[in-house]
Amino acid sequence: MNGIQLFKTRSVDLPCTVLPLGKGEQIYYQHIEAFPFMYWPNGKPCDPINMYFLAIANLTAEETLKTYASELSHLVRYCSKNKVDIDKLTDTNFFELSYLLQAEKSKLNPIERARNNNTVRAILSRSIRFLQWYQVNFVSPLSTPLIGEANQSPQIILKRIQNTDPKRKPGEYYYVHRAMPSHESREPKHPIARPIIEKIEQCIDDQSSLEKQSARFLQRYRNRPAFLVASLEYIRVRRHFMIWLMKRAGMRPSEMIEITVKEHTDILHRKRILIPCKKRRRNRPPLRSFPITLKDATVFQRYLNARAKYLDYLRTVNQEVSLATTLFVGVNGEPIKKTSLERDFARLVISAGYKDVQACFSMFRHRFITYEVIVHLKEFMTGAGKNRQIMTNTDYESILKRVATKTGHGNKRIVLGNITKRLRDHLVKSLRF
């Protein structure tokens, strides 16, 4: 099912709101830096899916649109290879697509599957949502339904399921297809353990040493030894600061890469980190103000100093270098991407000896949220003179709301999904979610 990537991202401004004014109308635009445009394997635009992206763009985060494009690429490639029009898809096609997705082997390890059952389910689920949208907008009500429940006698038969996930609103539902493989139970993510963090931090220091670099790597910089020393030191500082931010604020990688230096030049005075909240579906991510101590502000300022020193060095060796304004930059002064941070961290985890241990950025977020809930619980019970037996639903909801404000969650139920199971079970039972 894999091949060349079928979508390309472009910077676009989409009209999203029109307000009537006295002398006409004012049009407001939504800027999307990386909007995905889908193509058929022959290079022609895949108009139905591009129209689908346009229809949902104002309600969908930018990174999520790219995820949808990746998932729908499999349906596009299947339709093209088998010469099946979208409106001619049937149950048989869905079963065949599901089989191909499950049977494909990994290119890195031919004895392993390219994707697990949960990934296959996510691809088919996204295909279902697209086909439902396609039916509403392009299929005549007088013709055989393309997709729907059995009582509608459609070409693709779905089953509606009530959603029992505590992070979702009561009464929500979703659709499944018989071709979907069964769920694979995954070990729930726990807060990342302190020994793992300490080992990763030690690995950061080790990898910044010239003595630890391979002869082949050093050969690449034989004519630029000063640049190698400066870049290794900056990478060391940047990695340590990245780990510190994840521990201290539990922010998302997509939020870290968009924090700007300009808004933090007086960090020692303001003692607040302004974090773009990426999960809110707005034209521009709203900023949430994260309070920190003077000690934390000093850590932040030290990184800013190291960053400025490195960029000054780059200017001395290359007067035409284009330098980013974001908090994190690459070795050439360019803005660093979210995927680059994630790959860098994954390499650190493996280098630290945790190849078969679950360790990722989101586990820092679980760690931060769990600790925040515990701290707020203790503070509330101490201040209010209450114990667990006499705390009310309102008390617990107030605590979750305070934590959600810090983490940028729009729904306190989502906070529940990011804490340890033992603490979550207690809160779910208390709140009767």
* Residue 320 near residue 298 (C-beta atoms within 8 A): no
The strand pairing partners of 8, in sequence order, are 37
Q: What is the pLDDT of residue 241?
A: 96
CA torsion through residues 312, 317, 321, 324, sign = negative
Which of 75-89, 94-108, 168-182: highest mean pLDDT?
Answer: 75-89
pLDDT greater than 70 at residue 417:
no
In this structure, what token pair is assigned to residue 395? Answer: 């008390």
Percent of the chain with pLDDT over 90: 42
d(CA 258, CA 276): 7
pLDDT greater than 80 at residue 292:
yes
d(CA 366, CA 247): 10
pLDDT greater than 60 at residue 412:
no
> How does pLDDT run across 335-388, given as a tens digit for each residue?
888 888 888 998 898 888 887 777 888 888 878 777 777 776 777 667 666 555
Q: What is the pLDDT of residue 429?
A: 46
pLDDT greater than 50 at residue 430:
no
Residue 431 pLDDT class (50, 70, 90 cuts): very low
Among the ranges given (210-214, 357-361, 423-427), the one the predictor scored with the smallest mean pLDDT: 423-427
Q: What is the pLDDT of residue 165?
A: 64
Residue 61's Cβ-count burial label (10 Å; 0-12, 13-18, 19+) is: middle
pLDDT greater than 70 at residue 250:
yes
How far, in whole angstroms, is CA 210 from its chain's centroid? 34
pLDDT greater than 80 at residue 108:
no
Q: What is the pLDDT of residue 74?
A: 96
d(CA 235, CA 204): 9
Q: What is the pLDDT of residue 26?
A: 76
Looking at residues 21-38, what average pLDDT do you find?
79
Comparing 179 with 374, the larger pLDDT belongs to 179
Q: What is the pLDDT of residue 386?
A: 59
Residue 25 pLDDT class (50, 70, 90 cuts): confident
pLDDT greater than 60 at residue 246:
yes
pLDDT greater than 80 at residue 182:
yes
Phi/psi region, residue 358 (left: phi>0; alpha: psi -120 to 50; beta: rest), is beta
d(CA 276, CA 264): 13
- The mean pLDDT of the chain is 83
Looking at residues 209-227, what average pLDDT do you find?
87
Residue 426 pLDDT class (50, 70, 90 cuts): very low
d(CA 69, CA 49): 9
Picking from 81, 86, 23, the residue whose alpha carbon sits closest to that of residue 50 is 86
pTM of the model: 0.63
Residue 95 pLDDT class (50, 70, 90 cuts): very high
| DSSP conformational letter for 264 | G
* Residue 397 near residue 412 (C-beta atoms within 8 A): yes
> How does pLDDT run across 34-70, given as a tens digit for each residue?
899 999 999 999 999 999 999 998 878 777 898 999 9
Which of 129-143, 366-380, 410-424: highest mean pLDDT?
Answer: 129-143
Q: What is the pLDDT of residue 410?
A: 54
Residue 174's SS3 state is strand
d(CA 357, CA 349): 9
d(CA 368, CA 146): 46
